[in-house]
């Protein structure tokens, strides 16, 4: 099995990379940080105070969101929104957790979902 070399960064490609939170301790730490209701979801943000670190993001949807199909749909939408927005507007050294809401995350127009995330990030970072 060969390992591929990293893809060189081209012009216009963000220098920030996204890492996914997997440990419960990271989610609990983010819960102690900033909490911003964003219409179709809740954003939690925590500054790890590591300047050169990657942007880390986690997703969660409780059973209140619906059955497994509804939860997975909501998480897929949150993942794509985070990929599109956090690479440009997220800050290195921060952890973000996106929490889905019942009847809102999966039903919200995707462009509105993206604008909700941008607006929530502006509230967290004070722009």
Residue 90's CATH number = 3.30.230.10
CB atoms within 10 A of CB 10: 6
Check residue 49 and give its pLDDT: 85
State the average pLDDT over residues 62-83. Answer: 93
How far is Cα 3 from Cα 101, in angstroms, rounded to an integer? 40
Residue 8 or 92, more confident: 92
- Looking at the domain assignment, is residue 100 inside a domain? yes
How far is Cα 32 from Cα 14, in angstroms, rounded to an integer? 28
Among 9-18, 21-30, 40-49, 73-82, which stretch is predicted with the lowest mean pLDDT?
9-18
Give the count of domains, the chain: 1
- Looking at the domain assignment, is residue 9 inside a domain? no
Sign of the alpha-carbon torsion through 44, 49, 51, 54:
negative
96: confidence class by pLDDT, cuts 50, 70, 90: very high
Task: Decide: pTM greater than 0.85.
Answer: no
- Nearest CA to 59 out of 48, 73, 47, 49 is that of 73
Q: With beta carbons less than 8 A apart as the criterion, state whether 63 and 99 touch.
A: no
State the average pLDDT over residues 23-34. Answer: 93
State the average pLDDT over residues 99-103. Answer: 92
Q: Containing domain of residue 95, as a range?
A: 18-125
Partners of residue 46 on adjacent β-strands: 95
SS3 state at 120? helix
Check residue 50 and give its pLDDT: 77
Check residue 53 and give its pLDDT: 77
- Looking at the domain assignment, is residue 5 inside a domain? no
| E strand or H helix at 86 | helix 68-89
Residue 120 or 51, more confident: 120
């Amino acid at each position: 099995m060969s390992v591929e070399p990293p893809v060189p960064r081209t012009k216009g490609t963000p220098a920030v990379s996204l890492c996914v939170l997997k440990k419960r301790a990271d989610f609990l730490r983010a819960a102690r940080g900033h909490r911003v209701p964003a219409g179709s979801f809740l954003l939690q943000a925590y500054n790890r105070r590591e300047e050169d670190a990657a942007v880390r993001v986690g997703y969660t949807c409780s059973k209140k969101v619906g059955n497994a199909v509804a939860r997975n749909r909501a998480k897929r939408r949150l993942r794509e929104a985070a990929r599109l927005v956090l690479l440009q507007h997220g800050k290195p050294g921060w952890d973000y957790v996106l929490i889905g809401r019942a009847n809102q995350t999966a039903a919200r127009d995707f462009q509105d979902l993206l604008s909700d995330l941008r607006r929530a990030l502006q509230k967290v970072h004070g722009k």
